[in-house]
Amino acid sequence: MKNAKHRTSNIEHRTLNETADEVWVLHDGTVDSRKFDLENRLLEFASAVIDLTEKLPSSRAGNHIAGQILRSGTSPYPNHGEAESAESREDFIHKLKICLKELRETRRWARLVERKDWVKNDSTLIFVLNESDELIRIFMSSIRTARQNVLKQKHGGPAQTHKFPG
């Protein structure tokens, strides 16, 4: 078989949060001391984004920004599911980068909502801003690690087994 490509198995890349017991303050103000994996954090984030959009004004600008933040803020949750079912390491990295891009966009829209002062002293907006920052850092770290693993694999070194944070 000359020039035959190896087929890539459809391996799920789980992204569990393996940190010690932590206390989480959810966007509705309740406290939860369970460990959260990244999927649950993204689900909670998407839920908070939905709640935030419901609080925006029903003006032309408010509706526009609500639609934009709704799309970008709910997108990382299903895209993370796609990353877990990636067909290759490169596909995994690409899908993580989509999540990162959407999180950055959401953070920008949330900062605009904050600048416009459309929701005053709102815990949901504060949660979206803080959680988007944390999730961006988690995804950046995950992408960096996955890229390093691809380089190690291409250069003949053993791929690092890594459980992604968050």
pLDDT per residue as tens digits for the range 25-81: 555 566 554 445 999 999 999 999 999 999 999 999 999 999 999 999 999 999 999
pLDDT of 132 reads 98
Q: Are 113 and 67 in contact (CB under 8 A)?
A: no
In-domain check, residue 72: yes
Distance of alpha carbon 95 from the chain centroid: 10
Model confidence at 153, pLDDT cuts 50, 70, 90, reads: confident
In-domain check, residue 61: yes
pLDDT of 30 reads 60
Give the residue numbers spanning the domain of 47: 35-154
Top mean-pLDDT range of 4-13, 103-112, 157-166:
103-112
Q: Return the structure tokens found at 88.
A: 């290759």
In-domain check, residue 3: no
**CATH code of the domain containing 85:** 1.20.1440.60
In-domain check, residue 53: yes
For the chain, how many structural domains are there in total? 1
Whole-angstrom distance, CA of residue 28 vs CA of residue 58? 23
In-domain check, residue 140: yes
**Helix 89-116 vs helix 60-74: angle between axes, to the nearest 10 degrees?**
150
